[in-house]
Structure 1
């Protein structure tokens, strides 16, 4: 079976985890601090705060941005459900915005139409690692005095207008899940350029504790902590951070290799009618966290038949990105969403295998199987 994705982990990560375990300090500690500093430097941000996953990162971002009960946050429905859920965690309402047909990213034109006096923030998503139009949303947020938050779960290593994702906004949230470009097993990171956000994020991730464990451990004088506000247990362990440090060292190389695989797909599929390939707009640099093909109207084979055929050949695929407003958890939410582009992209897109190290023969096998099924069906239709 050719998998849809695999984490790229080596002996270096295993050794780093092993060495950290032997130090006796395995919870949030010196390796987490090192990972934060190195990630902030890589992303071009002033600060970075490591957390347990990207969902908790989004939750904390909502809190420090001042989003609360009765507020509205514009966000795409075409995203993993955690994007919208984070808005609901703080009692706010996600207002679903349609996406651009060619990038799968939130549409600034539709977003402006949905701004109301209750709107407090726009939560953009860099879907599948393809950067969203940050400048357009920064203009919107400045115009209507809104907060801009980036869900960059898939976008470590991607860039926008020459800046790495993480350097453009005050709250940018990353994921290190195994399906992402780099992984710590589970894990997340928030980058920010604001010291007040940085200090409060560190407080909130550890129960609102005024003095963290490491400070107390290293103190020469007796210290008693205070819990200054209701916080959460959203910490990253030092074991995870040690793995993350080694993954970060390889990130640029991993992105280069992923882009080579995407280029192979692009070359093979570029002249196939009825399909749309990923589009990298000017100024955007994708890490190709996923490679997604859209089957246009008139395609001779439907998406599910194609997926099953590839599975029968031993090739795993996934459907297009989910639409949260059509999930059971949102059936009782009066979204009043009219999202034709989002729904079409979910219903007619297929994600192909892409991971490091994916062998050349496996890439070619996917290409041949895909083209073979499409051409066979096309011949049947013509006959």
Structure 2
């Protein structure tokens, strides 16, 4: 029996959240305040987040998955409907559609940006199509001009899955000022701004924001803050079926600190990404990220592609691991996972399949030193593909 290859004791991770003493103190302050579940800190975080992205309203939730689901529910999406989305995305994108009883219809991607190809989207529109769920993949903005034009032409709802896109810009506007009805963000530890778990929906529609706030808290007519601050007895009612999708004040306290330091986090990631771009320029077997001129990438992940086959990609990843460098496969192809194998729209996605088979996510995080990045780059240069 052959033994497993030896792996060096030094490991460079793909990602690592940046949490400092300020977040620790904010957590302590929240715990001592008496507000542990959704309360005044959540409301303050929503106000600050909306101001940052340039939207009129922000609604905090327990995750981006619940944000996507609630956005679809609030848009009236349900059984019998179809929602067009990419297969090249984390499975939560399609799952959120499936939760509603609707069917995800997978469109192909632009092989350079990894985002929805508008032409592929338009070809898939049917009488049952109700919405387009556009993903800003690994932080790079999708083609919102083309997608919003399609949505308007066919009277479809456009929702942005902006899970990875905090701080990214499209035509000099931050993602989160929705081109469609809503944009949904994630605060998972793999994201640049983290609250541990958590999500946010942004919208410019005040009535829609009110509806989202009700639905996230069991459709309660009065919030906890309103009831606790009332000077007269206040009794809530429950006029529709709602959900428990609340963010806690503890998470919001962390999120506000993270939002304050977001500019520094973005600057560092863009600096490290530029170092990768320059250092990998002389590797013809590797395709670096392509960023259209009208987009500003936040580099939530730095993904490269091999100009060869999946076995070569997997061998490279194993070789990197043995050198103490953690990598990840490209963004998954949802249509290859068991729950979606029978989805007919997943049978003709050549660009999605190619990117899923040949992409590699390299380490990139705020605390990454130039020396560690140089080691990653030097190790890559030792391989011949």
Question: Could you tell me the TM-score, scaled by structure 2's length?
Answer: 0.95
Deviation of 1:373 (Å): 1.7
Deviation of 1:104 (Å): 0.5
Q: Distance in 2 between matches of 1:135 and 1:128?
A: 19
Partner of 1:207: 218
Could you say what secondary structure the match of 2:160 adopts?
Answer: strand
Size of the aligned set, in residue pairs, is 374
Could you say what secondary structure the match of 2:131 adopts?
Answer: strand
Unaligned runs of 5+ in 1: 378-383
Q: Distance in 1 between matches of 2:183 and 2:314?
A: 34
Partner of 2:48: 38
- Within the candidate set 223, 228, 245, 1:217 is matched to 228
230-239 or 217-226: bigger deviation: 217-226
| 1:243 is the counterpart of 2:289 | no
- Within the candidate set 280, 292, 298, 1:281 is matched to 292
Deviation of 1:53 (Å): 0.4
| 1:13 is the counterpart of 2:23 | yes
Q: Please give the per-residue CA displacement for 1:206-237, whole angstroms capped at 9, x wherever unaligned.
A: 00111111111111111111111111100000
10-19 or 365-374: bigger deviation: 365-374
Q: 1:264 to 1:47 in 2, by over 3 A?
A: same
The 8 Å contact of residues 274 and 298 in structure 1, kept in 2 or not, is answered as: no
Partner of 1:267: 278
Deviation of 1:336 (Å): 5.0
Deviation of 1:114 (Å): 0.5
RMSD: 1.2
Could you say what secondary structure the match of 1:33 adopts?
Answer: helix
Could you say what secondary structure the match of 1:15 adopts?
Answer: helix
The 8 Å contact of residues 27 and 239 in structure 1, kept in 2 or not, is answered as: yes
Partner of 2:244: 233
Could you say what secondary structure the match of 2:261 adopts?
Answer: helix
- Within the candidate set 63, 67, 77, 2:77 is matched to 67
Deviation of 1:253 (Å): 1.4
Q: Distance in 1 between matches of 2:246 and 2:260?
A: 22
Deviation of 1:196 (Å): 1.4
- Within the candidate set 82, 100, 119, 2:129 is matched to 119
Q: Distance in 1 between matches of 2:208 and 2:381?
A: 50
Q: Please give the per-residue CA displacement for 1:109-132, whole angstroms capped at 9, x wherever unaligned.
A: 111111111111100000000110
| 1:312 is the counterpart of 2:312 | no
Question: Could you tell me the TM-score, scaled by structure 1's length?
Answer: 0.96
* Runs of 4 or more consecutive aligned structure 1 residues displaced over 6 Å after TM superposition: none
Unaligned runs of 5+ in 2: 1-10
Deviation of 1:168 (Å): 2.9
Partner of 1:151: 161
